[in-house]
Structures are given as C-alpha cells and as structure tokens.
Amino acid sequence: MPKSKFQKPIEIKISTVVAVSTIMYTSDLATLDAAMHEMTGGVSDFFEGDLAVIDVGDLAPGGERIDWAATIALLKKYRLNPVAVRNAKPEMVEEIQQHGLQLDSGKREEPPIVTAPKPAPAPAPAPAPVAAPAAPAFSGTMIIDTPVRAGQRIYARGGDLIVMAVVNNGAEIIADGSIHVYNTLNGRALAGASGNASARIFALSMSPELVSIAGVYRTFEDGFPTENARKPVQIRLNGDSLEIQSVNSAK
C-alpha cells in the first residue's frame, strides 16, 4: 500500500540508459571468448552489469549460425547483460525474440570524420565564389564527473571536454576543442575533431589506445612510450605529427 493516499503506487518516467554496443565479426564462441578475455585482461569487474546491444551487421552473409543461448551466456560471463540485437536479418527475428531479446532498429553511430569541405556547385555560366565553411558554434565546456566505460562515446561539440574520472579501455572521448582528463586516460581521445589544429589532449595519467588531433592520429599497439606512461602529459600537433610532452613543458 502507498505510504499516504497522495502517493502513487507506481510512476513511469522517461530515463536515459546507456548500453554497450557489442559488435560481432564472428559467431565462433571460442574466438569471441578469447577476444573478450584479452579485452578485459581477465579483470572480473571490467564491465559492471552494463546493458549490451548485440550488433550482427558485420557478420558475413550466410555465415555460421548464431547460438544465441551460448552467446548470451558468454556475454553474461563478462558481466554484460544483452537486451537487444541490432541489424538482425529477418530469418533471425523469431529466434532472437524466443531468447527474450528486443530488436533495435537504431543505426550504429560512427565517430565524426573530418574531411575537407566540398565546394558548392557553381551556377552556369560563371563560377560563383565559395564561402568558407562556418566553424562549429561554441557550446561551452562539457564536464563529465563519472567514469567513461567501454563502448561509451562522448562528444563535446564546439567546445572543450573535461573528464574528472577514468576513461576506460574501449571508451571514446571526442571534442572540437581540447580534451582534459584529470584522471587516467586508457581509451581513445580525439581532440580538434572539426579541424582545430591548436587543440591539445591533457591527462594526469596516460595509457591510451589511440589519440588524434585535427584528424592526425597515433595508435599505441606496443604501449605508450615508457618515459611518459602513467605520468601527467600533453599531446599537441606539430606539423603533421603528434608530440608527447610533459604538462610542464615550455615548448
């Protein structure tokens, strides 16, 4: 019973829920298990019961059949809770629903790609001058106080991004301006996403998978440089290459 006659027994409100996008390139369970173990480093709480949307759009057409029960069990083993399937083929629908999963019709988001603006078509017979593309409207600084988990993407459009918590492996943070991480940066960081070559990336402790400024990127498959790893550093663009420096560097 309600605590008072004025209290409703139940309320329904709109809420925003973040789900991890789990993109499958194969349905082979042994291969998936090995990849998940490598991704998480065997850490049992890498995921914390996050909701997961299984994306099957990149599986080869007519490929091996998906064992849905075993696939769901595998993801739960790594503390992911599958709730929906994206890009399912029509012949998959019945079996997907039998396993209690929903169909997600949403399109997968892709990271913004910075390209040179295309000139507007000129009217005949004389070509008209092409106006320079307008810079993104400045929307201020975005501040994130909570950890950025694997599968999450955060984009500070038109401004800087400040993250006060850890950015985990598999996460992606993007800003049209600079990126400041007052914690550990483990995932992917893309600053100057709309072409701002003066943007920088700062972190108190850095061991990223990839960094990019104004479309110039660098990956770290062999690990972050040992002299800068897990230290306060900044990354800046110098010509067509990225420089890694101490935050105290006067350059």
Give dist(CA 74, CA 113) in Å, integer.
33
- With bands split at pLDDT 50, 70 and 90, how would you rate the model's confidence at 48? confident
Mean pLDDT of the chain: 80
More confident residue, 45 or 101: 101
| pLDDT tens track for 102-114 | 987 654 444 443 3
pLDDT in the model for residue 40: 75
Give dist(CA 177, CA 197) in Å, integer.
9
Shortest CA distance to 193 belongs to which of 163, 224, 159, 223? 159
pLDDT in the model for residue 163: 95
pLDDT in the model for residue 12: 59
Tell me the CATH architecture of domain 142-246: 3 Solenoid (2.160)
Q: Are 155 and 137 in contact (CB under 8 A)?
A: no
Residue 227 contacts by C-beta under 8 Å, 6 or more apart in sequence? none
pLDDT in the model for residue 181: 96
The mean pLDDT of 218-231, rounded to a whole number, is 82
Shortest CA distance to 162 belongs to which of 148, 186, 178? 178
Which helix (H) or strand (E) segment is 58 a member of? Answer: none
Q: Are 177 and 217 in contact (CB under 8 A)?
A: no
pLDDT in the model for residue 233: 93
Task: Tell me which DSSP letter residue 100 carries.
Answer: T
Query: Does the predicted model carry a pTM greater than 0.85?
Result: no
- With bands split at pLDDT 50, 70 and 90, how would you rate the model's confidence at 45? low
Q: How many helices (H) and strands (E) does the chain have?
A: 3, 15
Q: Are 47 and 147 in contact (CB under 8 A)?
A: no
Give dist(CA 163, CA 158) in Å, integer.
16
pLDDT in the model for residue 139: 58
Q: Which two tokens stand for residue 104?
A: 């997600």
Q: Hey, where are the domains in the chain?
A: 19-104, 142-246
| pLDDT tens track for 149-160 | 988 889 888 899
- With bands split at pLDDT 50, 70 and 90, how would you rate the model's confidence at 6? low
Q: Which two tokens stand for residue 81?
A: 């809770």
pLDDT in the model for residue 251: 58
| pLDDT tens track for 178-204 | 999 999 999 999 999 888 999 999 999
pLDDT in the model for residue 108: 45
* C-alpha Rg value of the chain to the nearest Å: 22
pLDDT in the model for residue 143: 92
Give dist(CA 187, CA 209) in Å, integer.
5
- With bands split at pLDDT 50, 70 and 90, how would you rate the model's confidence at 230? confident
Return the residue matching tokens 């006060």. 164
Sequence-ordered strand ranges (E) for the chain: 19-23, 50-55, 80-86, 102-104, 142-144, 153-156, 161-163, 172-175, 179-185, 188-191, 201-206, 210-213, 216-219, 233-238, 241-246
Which helix (H) or strand (E) segment is 33 a member of? Answer: helix 29-40
Return the residue matching tokens 């017979």. 125
| pLDDT tens track for 112-151 | 433 333 444 545 554 544 444 444 444 578 999 999 998 8
Domain 19-104 has CATH 3.40.630.30: no
210 pLDDT more than 80: yes
Share of the chain above pLDDT 70, in %: 76
